[in-house]
Amino acid sequence: MALTRRARRTYRLLAAHYPDARCELDFADPFQLLVATVLSAQTTDRRVNGVTPTLFGRYPDAFALAVAERADVEAIIQPTGFFRAKTDSLLKLGAALVERFDGRVPGRLGDLVTLPGVGRKTANVVLGDAFGVPGLTVDTHVGRLVRRLGWTEETDPVAVEHAVGGLFPRRDLTHLSHVLIFHGRRTCHARRPACGACPVASLCPSFGVGETDPAAAARLVRTEARA
């Protein structure tokens, strides 16, 4: 019970500190969010948002993507890195959506994770932000923060999802993901967290792993995401 209370209080404070916490990928429908999330692996949301207007302008749905020219897709998404592997995933993804789901993105976790290039992390992003189905997205930021905050010692993403999910009402999980990702990108960095500028420093058992001087820590805080 003590852990649950501390975790929920931490979430409330972070939510108040980041009132605009949301998915930072630009999208208009479930298909666009699914594709953008696949592209977001090993790159920044900003880079993905820079290429998706062109990509979706040429390939607005699964039917178009399924028959896209590989070289054209590669050229469009090259700035996101690993563009050949990502192109392969996107072409297979489009084909699978057409062949198995009539071109529509399914709204169930069990169906989503059967698609090429889609794991639980991507599925939870799509379910939470495109379909309103709550879920915890365990990316590198979320995994790092929940361990630093002492909510779990698990390292396997699925184990983290279940352990942390048990501390919160299910309805909060999607927004919790966004809040943690915002905090991880802006303040609680992987290499040098800004501990002295952290809004939940008093609740964090890892306080001191980063810069504790308030002035120095404030200089480490990012006003917008770069990762």
| Residues carrying an active site annotation | 121, 139
Nearest to 227 by CA among 37, 43, 52: 43
Cβ neighbours for 132, distance < 8 A, ≥ 6 positions apart: none
In angstroms, what CA-CA distances link 37 with 19, 26, 62, 197, 221?
23, 10, 15, 30, 25
d(CA 14, CA 77): 34
Can you list the positions of beta strands (E) in 21-79?
none
